[in-house]
Structure 1
Amino acid sequence: MDVHVQGGPAEPFLGAKDLFSTEHDLKRPVTVRVREDPDERTRVSHSDDAHRLTISRQAATSAMSRELALHEYAHMHHHERGHPSHTQSTREAIYLALAGRSVEQRKLTHCYQIANHMKDVYADDIWMPVVPGDKLVPFLEASLAAAVADRPGDPPTWDRSTSSNRVRQPGEPAARLTPAADPDITAVNAAFALALCERHNLVETDHRLYDLAHAAAQDAESVDLAEFKRHFAALSPEPDESEFRKALVDVTRAYAGGGGRAAD
């Protein structure tokens, strides 16, 4: 397994390589490109003879950098093996699930995020047996807590036309300058976090993550937390193409298509 790091610290990626190679291998070399922009999105691209991981310096030097590298190596592993979760066209499955339905853009965007969760389940199945999940659980908990706290509140009710210099009174909500976390996808993310932890026996049933997940679900009446947790947790370890396509279609319809299951 060959890993080259450009523009940033090599240790997290080489350390992850050593751990990953105890159980798995990558046939193609990996180039890691570390970017200074803190908003750089972590992404992986593939060619016939190599993999490329692009990541921000902020992520590459974070406490989760090794685990993040392991996660991305696992995606590369599935890509090389032709795992159905990584060869199935997301666009094709979503359009199959939502054919003939009118879906708002917000929901459609979320469907792609949910499809990525499905891929992540299989990537995590690869790397999580290699290292303890002691860092992952606090990360999931903190991420979910932040999203729940950032849920949208009631908008200001005063008439802005009365005075451009109106002073906001104590206790009165301020106008948001950035979008709030979307309650629907936050609830699905909570279901994913619970499914991941249960799939790998990372938490007890009294863990705070469950309280946060239920709080997220209360803000999203159209999302059934238990149903989405089941969609993620029950994914077959080694699905064939038809089985994974059906699972992806089913979860897409559950979120944006008004229910209904795909035919076998």
Structure 2
Amino acid sequence: MNIRVQGPGPTSPFLSARDLFETEHDLSLPVDVRLQDDPDERTWAGHYDDRHVLNISRQAASSAMARELALHEFAHMARHEQEHPSHTQSTEEVLFLALAGKSVERRKLSHCYQIANHMKDIYADDITLAVGPGEKLLSFLESSLAMAVADRPETPSRPGFKRLSASSDPEITAVNAAFALALAERHDLVADDHRLYDLAHAAAMDAPDVDFEGFKRRFRELARDPDPSTYRQVLVDATRSYVSSPESRADGPAAD
């Protein structure tokens, strides 16, 4: 597995991640690591005919999560080379199949892309957590969910209650909570009394129209090696479930 770090910055996190990754997997194509100056640049992988590209900010590359971030992206690269359905299925095709004839708010449409990305992450982290420890990932999931839940209103959710804060959407926060808990349960990372359960419960209570338990089950029980048709149907069903809530049918800017 050939890694080429472009630009000044730390190299040890990527080499350490490679060493862990190679205990179980390998990549056919080389990996170019591009260190970005923008500290807000998210970590993401690009795939080309002759290489993979790992984009990461210098700040993230110097953080305590750097090795885990790199390992996660290497796992996405592996799934891409495997032509795993989660990484070859067109999200646009799924949205067309699931939402044909429906009018959906633009924010909900963007959330559907996030649901598809969560499923990709589940399959990538099946590799990540098979070769590396899960403690840092669990702490990251817990802290991220805690920040989102802390932004919810103090007034308990009730019929007719509408959240005014635009900084943390309660519906996708509930789905994110379902994903975090499903991933943790799928890999036995949490005990029954872990704080993640309390945070997820709070997120679910703040979005009563979202089928939290249904999404947790979908994420947790994704088949390890689905055929393309089965995977497509799972994603179609998840999309329809998310947009079918009463809140999703409320008036607002829509995308046909």
Provide the TM-score with structure 2 as the length reference: 0.89
Whether 1:210 aligns to 2:211 is no
**5+ long unaligned stretches in structure 2:** 156-163, 247-256
- Distance, in Å, in 1 between the alignment partners of 2:71 and 2:43 is 13
**One-letter code aligned to 1:107:** K
- Distance, in Å, in 2 between the alignment partners of 1:94 and 1:118 is 15
**One-letter code aligned to 1:75:** H
**Over aligned residue pairs, what C-alpha RMSD do you find?**
1.6
**One-letter code aligned to 2:171:** D
The answer for the alignment partner of 2:238 in structure 1 is 251
The answer for the alignment partner of 2:5 in structure 1 is 5
The answer for the alignment partner of 1:90 in structure 2 is 91
**Post-superposition CA distance 1:5-41 (Å, at most 9, x none):** 1222111011100110110000000000011111112
Structure 1 pair 22–113 and aligned structure 2 pair: CA distance change class (3 A): same
Q: Which range moved further: 6-15 or 197-206? A: 6-15
By how many angstroms is 1:151 displaced?
Answer: 2.3
- Distance, in Å, in 2 between the alignment partners of 1:254 and 1:204 is 29
Equivalent runs, 1:72-83 vs 2, <5 Å? 72-83=73-84
Alignment check: 8 A CA contact 1:40 1:55 kept? yes
Provide the TM-score with structure 1 as the length reference: 0.87
How many percent identity over aligned positions?
A: 66
Alignment check: 8 A CA contact 2:43 2:69 kept? no
The answer for the alignment partner of 1:21 in structure 2 is 22
- Distance, in Å, in 2 between the alignment partners of 1:87 and 1:180 is 32
The answer for the alignment partner of 2:169 in structure 1 is 182
Alignment check: 8 A CA contact 1:44 1:53 kept? yes
**Post-superposition CA distance 1:80-125 (Å, at most 9, x none):** 1111100000111012111111110010000001100000000000
- Distance, in Å, in 1 between the alignment partners of 2:2 and 2:51 is 10
- Distance, in Å, in 2 between the alignment partners of 1:215 and 1:37 is 33
Structure 1 residue runs of 4+, over 6 Å off?
A: none
**5+ long unaligned stretches in structure 1:** 155-174, 260-264
Alignment check: 8 A CA contact 1:190 1:216 kept? yes
By how many angstroms is 1:152 displaced?
Answer: 5.2
Equivalent runs, 1:1-264 vs 2, <5 Å? 1-7=1-7, 8-151=9-152, 179-258=166-245
By how many angstroms is 1:150 displaced?
Answer: 1.4
- Distance, in Å, in 1 between the alignment partners of 2:245 and 2:150 is 28
- Distance, in Å, in 1 between the alignment partners of 2:237 and 2:29 is 34
